[in-house]
């Protein structure tokens, strides 16, 4: 393992990471994967099947890193001491050797009580308290980089004109040009799988505090510091949209829900729980109106009813996000007066529980 780390042998590092992870040997697996994912593999033009194996490893890496970050007593855990190369100097005082990750992080946080020739000295209390703060930025930065790469990766978005006509006239088309004969049920399930894997990966950020400075760089979604989850909602909306489009493509060449086979998707059960939670978060968020909000509400409600049918009927009609559509432009004119909200008609149609759900859907489309 150390030879692979020293020579930066990526193939060996990945193979070792997988081997240790399969044996639940978290520390060596984490060390191998951390070196392997230092530069995220170039998945932009890879096939979905290959991407799914890389995302499976990255998901395993993120989960292990998160597990170590929140370990209850990192100071006195011998495995964590070995991984980060620190040890007790005297009672309740720890030495973080110069050049190690924790040494740099503690100096950056200005949390060291003193500096010696060998490194930084920290109290046990400070080490326990700040350990998470040292690892969370690593989790956050790695996932954000990977998330940005996935958003640009062709395999996540097939090019519709190419699938339908075998031609695409778009210059430098960012979408995947795939022949419709390749869109088999197996292909459909791999497409769903990579989306569910990415949703699980991104969900790791849920418990990681957001960097305030970084958030402010994204001025489009500038929010007061205490409202950082708003920023996550942007990406949650993005992946909910991608998942919905993948499960229910605009054209049958790309498959249908009838092709879905959760047995082929190892992560399906865990991911479905996350998607349900994301959908509830979206429906219960206070969002400003925007041109794509109706699409988001439709897709979210549709996913809720598909994945969480019984409970969804209880909560979707009370969703605060529907308040955005109380504006006059979303209300139907009835005998010269403002009548019902068209979005409520859409919800009645999607739920399909009352006897007028079909007329309600027709009114919404009108
Ligand atoms: Zn194209």
Give residue limits of the domains in the chain.
87-129, 157-326
Is it the case that residue 222 has pLDDT exceeding 60? Answer: no
Using the mean position of ligand 1's atoms as its centre, give its distance from the Cα of residue 162 in Å. 6
Contact 97, 87 (CB under 8 A): no
Q: Which pLDDT tens digit goes with each residue over 259-293?
A: 999 999 999 999 999 999 999 988 888 878 788 88
Using the mean position of ligand 1's atoms as its centre, give its distance from the Cα of residue 160 in Å. 7
Is it the case that residue 315 has pLDDT exceeding 60? Answer: yes
Q: Indicate the pLDDT class of residue 322, thresholds 50, 70 and 90.
A: confident
Q: Which pLDDT tens digit goes with each residue over 100-121?
A: 888 888 888 777 777 777 888 8
Beta strands in the chain (DSSP E): 87-90, 93-97, 114-115, 119-123, 331-334, 337-341
Using the mean position of ligand 1's atoms as its centre, give its distance from the Cα of residue 191 in Å. 18
DSSP state at residue 260: -
pLDDT (average), residues 195-201:
97
Phi, psi of 183 (to 5 degrees): -85, 70
Task: Determine whether 79 is exposed, middle or buried from the number of CB atoms within 10 Å of its CB (0-12, 13-18, 19+).
Answer: middle
Using the mean position of ligand 1's atoms as its centre, give its distance from the Cα of residue 53 in Å. 25
pLDDT (average), residues 139-143:
92
Is it the case that residue 141 has pLDDT exceeding 80? Answer: yes
Using the mean position of ligand 1's atoms as its centre, give its distance from the Cα of residue 168 in Å. 5
Q: How many CB atoms lie within 10 A of CB 235?
A: 18
> What is the spatial distance between Cα 147 and Cα 239, in angstroms, rounded to a whole number?
10
Using the mean position of ligand 1's atoms as its centre, give its distance from the Cα of residue 350 in Å. 32
CA distances from 353 to 49, 310, 350, 357 (A): 39, 11, 9, 7
Q: How many CB atoms lie within 10 A of CB 182?
A: 12
Contact 187, 48 (CB under 8 A): yes
Is it the case that residue 218 has pLDDT exceeding 60? Answer: no
- Residue position matching structure tokens 């992946």: 239
Using the mean position of ligand 1's atoms as its centre, give its distance from the Cα of residue 163 in Å. 9
**What predicted TM-score, i.e. pTM, was given to this entire model?**
0.86
> What is the spatial distance between Cα 261 and Cα 172, in angstroms, rounded to a whole number?
34
Using the mean position of ligand 1's atoms as its centre, give its distance from the Cα of residue 161 in Å. 6
Q: Which two tokens stand for residue 243?
A: 């998942």
Find, among 265, 325, 271, 330, the residue nearest to 303 by Cα. 271
Lowest mean pLDDT among 86-90, 111-115, 157-161, 223-227: 223-227
Using the mean position of ligand 1's atoms as its centre, give its distance from the Cα of residue 156 in Å. 13
Q: How many CB atoms lie within 10 A of CB 360?
A: 20
Q: Which two tokens stand for residue 275?
A: 């998607």
The confidence score (pLDDT) of residue 213 equals 41
Average pLDDT, the chain: 85
> What is the spatial distance between Cα 196 and Cα 293, in angstroms, rounded to a whole number?
22
Q: Indicate the pLDDT class of residue 9, thresholds 50, 70 and 90.
A: confident
Using the mean position of ligand 1's atoms as its centre, give its distance from the Cα of residue 182 in Å. 16
Using the mean position of ligand 1's atoms as its centre, give its distance from the Cα of residue 363 in Å. 35
Using the mean position of ligand 1's atoms as its centre, give its distance from the Cα of residue 153 in Å. 13
The confidence score (pLDDT) of residue 187 equals 96
Find, among 334, 319, 336, 253, the residue nearest to 285 by Cα. 319
pLDDT over 90 percentage in the chain: 46
Using the mean position of ligand 1's atoms as its centre, give its distance from the Cα of residue 150 in Å. 17
pLDDT (average), residues 26-39:
93
The confidence score (pLDDT) of residue 360 equals 65
pLDDT over 70 percentage in the chain: 89
The confidence score (pLDDT) of residue 357 equals 66
- Largest interatomic CA distance in the chain: 85
Q: Which residues contact 201 (CB under 8 A, 6 or more apart)?
A: 55, 58, 59, 62, 143, 146, 147
Q: Indicate the pLDDT class of residue 344, thresholds 50, 70 and 90.
A: confident
Q: Indicate the pLDDT class of residue 221, thresholds 50, 70 and 90.
A: very low
Using the mean position of ligand 1's atoms as its centre, give its distance from the Cα of residue 254 in Å. 15
Q: Which of 158-162, 206-210, 290-294 has the highest mean pLDDT?
A: 158-162
């Amino acid at each position: 393992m150390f030879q692979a780390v020293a020579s930066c042998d990526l193939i060996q590092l990945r193979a070792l990471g997988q081997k240790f992870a399969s044996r639940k040997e978290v520390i060596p697996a984490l060390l191998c994967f951390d070196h392997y994912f230092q530069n995220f593999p170039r998945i932009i033009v890879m096939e979905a099947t290959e991407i799914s194996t890389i995302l499976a490893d990255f998901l395993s890496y993120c989960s292990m890193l998160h597990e170590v970050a929140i370990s209850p007593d990192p100071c006195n855990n011998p495995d964590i001491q070995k991984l980060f190369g620190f040890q007790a100097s005297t009672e309740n005082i720890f030495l973080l050797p110069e050049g190690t990750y924790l040494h740099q992080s503690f100096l950056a946080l200005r949390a060291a009580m003193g500096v010696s020739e060998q490194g930084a000295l920290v109290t046990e209390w400070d080490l326990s308290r700040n350990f998470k703060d040292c690892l969370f930025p690593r989790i956050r930065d790695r996932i954000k980089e990977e998330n940005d790469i996935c958003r640009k990766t062709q395999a996540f978005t097939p090019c519709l004109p190419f699938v339908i006509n075998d031609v695409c006239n778009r210059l430098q088309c960012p979408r995947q040009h795939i022949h419709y004969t390749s869109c088999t049920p197996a292909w459909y399930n791999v497409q769903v799988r990579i989306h569910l894997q990415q949703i699980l990966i991104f969900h790791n950020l849920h418990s990681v505090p957001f960097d305030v400075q970084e958030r402010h760089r994204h001025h489009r979604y500038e929010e007061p510091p205490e409202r950082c989850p708003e920023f996550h909602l942007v990406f949650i909306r993005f992946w909910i949209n991608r998942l919905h489009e993948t499960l229910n493509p605009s054209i049958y060449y790309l498959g249908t829900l009838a092709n879905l086979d959760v047995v082929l998707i190892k992560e399906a059960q865990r991911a479905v729980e996350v998607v349900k939670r994301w959908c509830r978060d979206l429906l219960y968020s206070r969002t400003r109106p925007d041109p794509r909000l109706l699409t988001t509400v439709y897709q979210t409600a549709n996913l809720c009813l598909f994945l969480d049918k019984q409970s969804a009927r209880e909560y979707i009609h009370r969703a605060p996000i529907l308040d955005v559509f109380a504006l006059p432009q979303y209300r139907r004119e009835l005998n010269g007066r403002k009548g019902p909200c068209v979005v409520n008609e859409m919800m009645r149609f999607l739920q399909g529980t009352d006897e007028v759900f079909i007329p309600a859907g027709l009114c919404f489309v009108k």
